[in-house]
Amino acid sequence: MVGGFPCQAFSIAGKRKGLADSRGNLFFEIIRVIAHTKPTYLLLENVKGLLNHDQGKTFTIILQSLAELGYALEWQVLNSKNFGVPQNRERVYIIGYLGRIPGKQVFPLKKADYQYSIPTQQIASPTIRIREATKKGYAVAYIGDSINTSFPTSTMKRGRIGMQIAHTIMTKKCYATLTKNKKLRYITPLECERLQGFPDCWTKVGVDTQGVTVSISDTQRYKCLGNAVTVPVIRAIITQLLLNKN
């Protein structure tokens, strides 16, 4: 079984109500499904902030709930940028084994050989100043940088520029990049697909309840991709899991 539960309840970007949040409570729906189906393996994903939410008590409850169903567990925080895509996306991945861990553990999973490397910036390229809550008051963005366009006049926001690498993509159109004409251009749904490791146009069309192929709006594509997991990370975990099984 592969799945996740809404991360907003645990993310440092939210109010962090945790399991008291209706979205965080969906974890117990996952527990209900697991108890009913008893899959041999589990793979769950959530934000890194899950580990320290409520001083670690929330994560302990999650582990205990899974252990009570008979699962041996291991977990690790992995960053998508280490698996071949230029996106800084840290997530905790939990693997569960019904009974006990067979043979070798999957984690710690080493960085992939095709780790994304940040190229040297071209100082002569166009630049733009982006307001940040730093002593200097701004940071300089170059072509190829990811720029967070949310809260442009904020006096609290830091880290609004991802240097030659994308921020963690979200469920809305809020990240841009600098063009050669010194203009900001929003990252497209196609680029978000690539940042998550999906094939091009993977989210462009879907099938409705009547079985008819329909186009998916850009708004919904941003939402789908912001809520998705990074494909190369999942592929690396599953590959190692299958190798250890054999």
Number of domains composing the chain = 2
Please tell me whether residues 37 and 107 are part of one structural domain.
Answer: yes
DSSP-based helix, strand, coil % in the chain, nearest 5: 30, 25, 50
Please tell me whether residues 182 and 198 are part of one structural domain.
Answer: yes
**Does 7 qualify as catalytic in the annotation?**
yes
Please tell me whether residues 72 and 85 are part of one structural domain.
Answer: yes
Whether the model pTM is above 0.95? no
pLDDT of residue 118: 58
Q: Does residue 137 belong to any structural domain of this protein?
A: yes
Average pLDDT, the chain: 86
Please tell me whether residues 136 and 222 are part of one structural domain.
Answer: yes
What is the C-alpha to C-alpha distance for residues 29 and 165, in angstroms, rounded to an integer? 35
Please tell me whether residues 165 and 213 are part of one structural domain.
Answer: yes
Q: Does residue 120 belong to any structural domain of this protein?
A: no
Please tell me whether residues 172 and 104 are part of one structural domain.
Answer: no
pLDDT of residue 10: 55
Answer whether residue 44 shows pLDDT above 60: yes
Please tell me whether residues 96 and 139 are part of one structural domain.
Answer: no
